[in-house]
Amino acid sequence: MLHYVTTNPGKLHEARAYLGDDTVDGYDYDYTEIQSESLETIAAEGAREAYREVGGPVIVDDSGLFINAFDGFPGPYSSYVESKLGIENVWELGKTVDDRAASFRCILAYCDGEPVAASPDPVDRDDRAAAAAAGAGERYQDDEPLPVKLFVGSVRGTLVAPRGDGGFGYDPIFEHDGSTFAERSSEEKNALSHRGRALAKFADWFDQR
């Protein structure tokens, strides 16, 4: 069984909706989030620690909201900002600027202790950054960090006043295609979202291993 290591039930719910309850189970463990501007680095280190904790294949999910007018804030600090400010106050900040464009990003980091083959032809900037952060392409040896494979998804949207009861986190203030993510079912959100896109890349790779 593959374990989705997270303290966030919303993430787990979406992962299980996408991958199926037979493929993935939750594992509630608060791995160390290293100080970094890069979600890729945070996720890769988290996956190594989670693998050592669980002792079997794991995915960790590091994600966040990036507001264009604020140079990507709260980004890697999204969890901290949500708990200290709350999403209502993030909207209060967002509505002070004309440009309300934002995006969500999700990095899934998979580790099963096995060496990871280098991606032969990185197709986009995200994949190259992901490969570099994961150290893909280097031969794995015992004294080197555990290999990690990264899958990246992002989605653009607009900050709006909170609407909807579904989803979690910043979903009520993130509008995409006329509805907020909190106004969609998990399946509808997965079909569009940063996490859904990263899960799709993961599932393609996982099924073809």
Active site residues: 62
CA distance 200 to 208: 13
Site for ligand ITT in 18-37 (CB under 6 A): 30
Least spacing, CB of residue 73 vs ligand ITT, in Å: 12
167: left (phi over 0), alpha (psi -120 to 50) or beta: left
170 binds, among Na ion, ligand ITT, none (CB under 5 to 8 A by kind): ligand ITT
Residue 171 is a binding residue for ligand ITT (CB under 6 A):
yes
Q: Which residues bind Na ion (CB under 5 A)?
A: 79
Which H helix or E strand runs over 159?
strand 149-159
Least spacing, CB of residue 133 vs Na ion, in Å: 18
63: left (phi over 0), alpha (psi -120 to 50) or beta: beta
Choices 18-26, 63-71, 92-100, 136-144; region in contact with ligand ITT by CB under 6 A: 63-71
Choices 57-65, 114-122, 130-138, 152-160; region in contact with ligand ITT by CB under 6 A: 57-65
SS3 assignment, position 154: strand
With CB atoms as reference, the residue minimizing the distance to ligand ITT is: 169
Site for ligand ITT in 125-154 (CB under 6 A): none
Q: Which is nearer to ligand ITT, 53 or 138 (CB)?
A: 53
* Count of positions on this chain that bind ligand ITT (CB under 6 A): 22
Q: Sort strands 24-27 and 2-5 into parallel, antiparallel or unpaired.
A: parallel
Contacts of 29 (CB under 8 A, 6+ apart): 5, 7, 50, 53, 54
186 binds, among Na ion, ligand ITT, none (CB under 5 to 8 A by kind): none
Contacts of 40 (CB under 8 A, 6+ apart): 107, 109, 129, 130, 133, 134, 150, 152
